[in-house]
């Protein structure tokens, strides 16, 4: 039996200024279907009776239990870990026995509210839906536990994220990951503007001094500039052997036209760059 009727795709209302909650959740339903399809494609044609990992005695770790939190990222991590376990054990077949095994396995990976929901809706003798599949179970769970504001939380998080103590590459990964969870992916200009706004203040000013702005620079240029700054600082750090190779008293930084751009400290052999600021290694 196919997934419950409320899981069917619903199109957003044309001309509506607000996102349709059903459409938002259906976006995740499509993601679930794609994740399952990709996992099955990887194991297609493999014989469960000749599982190399099982023959080698490899123990595959179980996924972290899901307790029904309204956390989109945690839910997707749970799905990915569950599919990984089923895939490595070659249990993603489409025959009735495999489907029953998949649904039962999901029940072993649930705790708290999620486990109560599973017992009441999937396992109970008086359940409304008697035939469940891996896909319908996961989609129905996301309908029950992930309310319509979940996607908006991702959008709000995207707008408020900051680099903090991480590197520029970590910031880019975080921003790109958040965009995949949003109902509508931000355009290129919005992504560039958010990237620059999320940088540490000193690094942000360094980008501006080099002539980079969200309006006239591409994301590839911004990423390349970050890499150049990192390489320049690493090169400078590698030449800090004052006792063996003294440096000039007044070094000129070839990678920035302004002298004394960065904080320095006096040494016996001259002045050197102070690296107390984590932004110097983007």
Query: Sorting pLDDT into bands at 50, 70 and 90, what band is 248?
Result: low
Instruction: With cut-offs at 50, 70 and 90, classify the pLDDT of residue 73.
Output: confident
User: What average pLDDT does range 134-157 have in this prediction?
Assistant: 82
For residue 235, the tally of other CB atoms under 10 A from its CB is 10
Which residues make Cβ contacts (< 8 Å) with residue 272, sequence separation at least 6? 240, 242, 247, 264, 265
Cα 82 to Cα 25, 64, 88, 107, 133: the distances in Å are: 20, 9, 10, 11, 14
Res 227 pLDDT > 60: yes
Tokens of 93: 């077949």
In terms of phi and psi (left: phi > 0; alpha: psi -120 to 50; beta: otherwise), the region of 82 is alpha
Print the SS3 string covering 98-142. Answer: HHHHHHHHHHHCECHHHHHHHHHHHHCCCCCCCCCCHHHHHHHHH
- Token pair for residue 33? 């279907």
* pLDDT mean across residues, the chain: 77
pLDDT, residue 140, reads 92
Query: Residue 192's closest CA among 236, 152, 225, 233?
Result: 225
Residues with Cβ within 8 Å of residue 102, at least 6 apart in sequence: 86, 91, 92, 133, 134
Q: 106 or 52: which carries more pLDDT confidence?
A: 106
**pLDDT value of position 4:** 47
Higher pLDDT, 113 or 244: 113
Q: What is the pLDDT of residue 236?
A: 76
Q: How many CB atoms lie within 10 A of CB 84?
A: 14
Q: Which of 94-103, 109-118, 187-196, 234-243 has the lowest mean pLDDT?
A: 234-243
Boundaries of every domain in the chain = 5-145, 150-280
**Residues 254-282 pLDDT 10s:** 444 444 444 544 444 444 444 444 444 55
Among residues 165, 192, 168, which one has the least CA distance to residue 179?
192
Q: What is the pLDDT of residue 26?
A: 65
Distance of CA 195 to the CA centre of its chain: 16
């Amino acid at each position: 039996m196919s997934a419950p009727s409320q899981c069917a795709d619903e199109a957003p209302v044309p001309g509506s200024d607000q996102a349709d909650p059903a459409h938002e959740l259906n976006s995740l339903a499509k993601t679930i279907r794609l994740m399952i399809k990709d996992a099955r494609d990887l194991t297609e044609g493999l014989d469960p009776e000749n599982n190399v990992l099982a023959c080698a005695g490899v123990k595959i770790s179980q996924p972290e239990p899901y307790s029904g939190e309204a956390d989109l990222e945690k839910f997707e991590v749970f799905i990915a870990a569950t599919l990984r376990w089923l895939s490595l054990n070659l249990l993603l077949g489409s025959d009735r026995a495999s489907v029953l095994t998949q649904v039962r396995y999901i029940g072993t990976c649930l705790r708290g509210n999620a486990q109560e929901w599973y017992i009441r809706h999937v396992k109970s003798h008086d359940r409304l839906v008697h035939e469940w599949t891996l896909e319908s179970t996961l989609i129905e769970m996301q309908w029950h536990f992930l309310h319509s504001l979940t996607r908006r939380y991702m959008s709000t998080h995207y707008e408020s994220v900051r680099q903090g103590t991480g590197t520029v590459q970590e910031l880019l990964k975080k921003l790109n990951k958040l965009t995949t969870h949003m109902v509508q992916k931000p355009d290129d200009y919005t992504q560039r503007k958010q990237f620059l706004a999320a940088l540490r203040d000193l690094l942000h000013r360094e980008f501006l001094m080099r002539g980079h702005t969200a309006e006239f620079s591409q994301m590839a240029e911004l990423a390349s500039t970050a890499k150049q700054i990192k390489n320049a600082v690493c090169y400078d750090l590698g030449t800090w052997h004052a006792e063996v190779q003294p440096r000039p008293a007044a070094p000129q930084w070839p990678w920035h036209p302004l002298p004394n751009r960065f904080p320095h400290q006096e040494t016996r052999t001259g002045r050197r760059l102070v690296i107390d600021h984590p932004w110097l290694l983007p």
